[in-house]
Amino acid sequence: MDAQETIKNQVSGSPVVLYMKGSPKFPQCGFSNLATQILDACNAQYKAIDVLADPAVREGIKIYANWPTIPQLYIKGEFIGGADIMRAMHESGELQTALDGAK
């Protein structure tokens, strides 16, 4: 299975998926840390995927979403954005609404 197929299966296999550097308990970059804090503040249940553990996924996810940076959030298979977009959506309440719709 190639990286694109792996990613497609991951984003469609869970309602909320966060591609990040590290894990929610041990984020390896500030933006990944911010993303997990936002999701935790929303009481979101999500699957975290550590891109540092798989170089093919780390590069492949940038191509998959045509988005150059990590973290990346997917809700119901749809690319939402990175940490800055997540922060803006959280502040407006839009992220909570999207997360509630994914349950």
pLDDT at 41 over 90: yes
pLDDT tens digits, residue range 55-99? 999 999 999 999 999 999 999 999 999 999 999 999 999 999 999
pTM of the predicted protein model: 0.96
Q: Which domains does the chain have, with CATH numbers?
A: 3-95 (3.40.30.10)
CA dihedral 67, 68, 69, 71 (to 10 degrees): 30
pLDDT tens digits, residue range 2-25? 999 999 999 999 999 999 999 999
User: What's the average model confidence in pLDDT over 41-67?
Assistant: 96
- Please give the pLDDT value at position 1: 76
Residue 19 has a pLDDT of: 98
Listed in order, strand segments (DSSP E) in the chain are: 16-20, 47-50, 72-75, 78-81
Location of structure tokens 């990175």: 82
pLDDT score, position 20: 98
Distance CA 26, CA 49 (A): 12
What integer pLDDT is reported at residue 103 of this predicted model? Answer: 83
SS3 of residue 49 by DSSP: strand
Residue 82 near residue 74, CB atoms below 8 Å: no
* pLDDT, position 24: 97
Q: State residue 79 phi and psi, 5-degree precision.
A: -70, 125
How many Å apart are CA 28 and CA 91, to the nearest integer?
24
